[in-house]
Amino acid sequence: MKKLILSLFAAAICSASLFAAPAERFVKVVVTPDNSEWRYDCGQKPVFTVTVLKHNNPIENAVVSYEISEDMMKPHVSKTLTLKNGTGTITLGTMKVPGFLRCRVFYKDGDFTYEGTATAGFEPEKIRPTTTLPDDFDKFWSDAVEANGKLPLEPVITPMPELCTGKADVYHISFQNYTKGSRFYGILCVPVGGGKHPAILAVPGAGVRGYRGMVSMAEQGYVTLQVGIHGIPVNLDPKVYTDLYSGALRSYNRYRLDNRDQYYYKRVYLGCARAIDFLAELESVDAERIAVCGGSQGGALSITTAVLNPKVKYLAAYYPALCDMTGYLYGRGGGWPHLFSRSADDNLRNDKCIETTKYYDVVNFARKVNIPVFMSMGYNDMTCCPTSTMSAYNVISSEKELLLFHDTKHYTYTEQDVIRNKWLYEHLGK
């Protein structure tokens, strides 16, 4: 059963969010599509209403500038508009093929510039990927997983009493991955009281940082493992991560892109899949009830992990990165890290790099997902653009649900976390 959930803005209780919503702005530029679902048929011409609010009142005769572009492409319209009586309208034009048309509106007040954005989706459920599936894709990854499986896990589990609560025990863990001596690190949280529990692996968004674990979920009866991907402990001084991200790991997502066997994400994909093996071997885990979740880069890793390790039974992803990365080569938006965009290094646009991405593109993993999937995203996201994420969602053939919060950019609302967690808990049970 495939289920499309649209525009859920229910009141929420509290939930820790992986990606916080933006701070409230003093001046608000509100851009409102004339279709509440932000969806149009190809050939339709959306009309957006623009209002600029100050002290929650419309500013009469405000002068705004705006630009219209296809998702992640250069603007093809740049104009100004005077909002007589506090409002104005913009006709976007149309698209002849499935995709997204974005309108960004800017208002300057003194030294500050405010922005409002809305994005029209033209038959987004029909978007298809540009990347292709290599003939030896399955063999490449099955050989890699098999070779990695021959390496002993050699787990190290160290208590972190400073993070423990009366309901959850917390540990810093590591296990061997990829090559002898190379390790994968994370924070393990286990419900107090013994017994076997469902487990949730949380895979990270882009960057380099430490972690403190998903204690609240463990307190509710779930074993949780929050991992880092860079082969370094995740409980170090924050400055260590800042220095690494500014230095050696600054462009890790491009490292050895010209070689499919040495690309940075090979060790990462395998390490996340191996984290599932680590969880499954714990006495506290019911190995038949394991889920994986994450957003952005973590959304991508959720999908790859679910395909590379069949022990994963449920998958929840926010706006996955690394989807349809070749989109830019076909004149449309591609997924983070935007390897082939006009602003990317020109030397990446070569046959070797393009071919490597096919083995790591999340679209090609999405084609092979065979478990229940929960995905959430927004149309205004210009980090993991909707053209790329929909190209992945649309090729998933298993049971799936899509939760759209149309106005979100690269963040989540608390409501999204509440709904996602409810989905996980209902599927995993207690």
Any idea which residues carry the catalytic annotation?
Answer: 296, 381, 410
Enumerate the β-bridge partners of residue 190: 169
Rounded Cα gap, residues 259 and 218, in angstroms:
40
In angstroms, what is the C-alpha Rg of the chain?
22
Q: How far is CA 204 from CA 11, 127, 425, in A?
A: 27, 27, 20
Identify which of 212, 155, 218 has the alpha carbon closest to the alpha carbon of residue 183.
Answer: 155
If one counts every other C-beta atom within 10 angstroms of the C-beta of residue 117, the result is 18
- Residue 292 to residue 310: CA distance in whole angstroms: 12
Secondary structure in 3-state letters for the chain: CEEEEECCCCCCCCCCCCCCCCCCCCEEEEEEECCCCCEECCCCCCEEEEEEEECCEECCCEEEEEEEEECCCCCCEEEEEEEHHHEEEEECCCCCCCEEEEEEEEEEECCEEEEEEEEEEECHHHCCCCCCCCCCHHHHHHHHHHHHHCCCCCCEEEECHHHCCCCEEEEEEEEECCCCCCEEEEEEEEECCCCCEEEEEECCCCCCCCCCCCHHHHHCCCEEEEECCCCCCCCCCHHHHHHHHHCCCCCHHHCCCCCCCCCHHHHHHHHHHHHHHHHHCCCCEEEEEEEEEEECHHHHHHHHHHHHCCCCCEEEEECCCCCCHHHHHHCCCCCCCCCCCCCCCHHHCCHHHHHHHHHHCHHHHHCCCCCCEEEEECCCCCCCCHHHHHHHHCCCCCCEEEEECCCCCCCCCHHHHHHHHHHHHHHHCC
Calpha distance 417→289 (Å, rounded): 20
C-alpha pair distances (Å), 199 with each of 135, 176, 186, 189, 331? 34, 20, 14, 10, 41
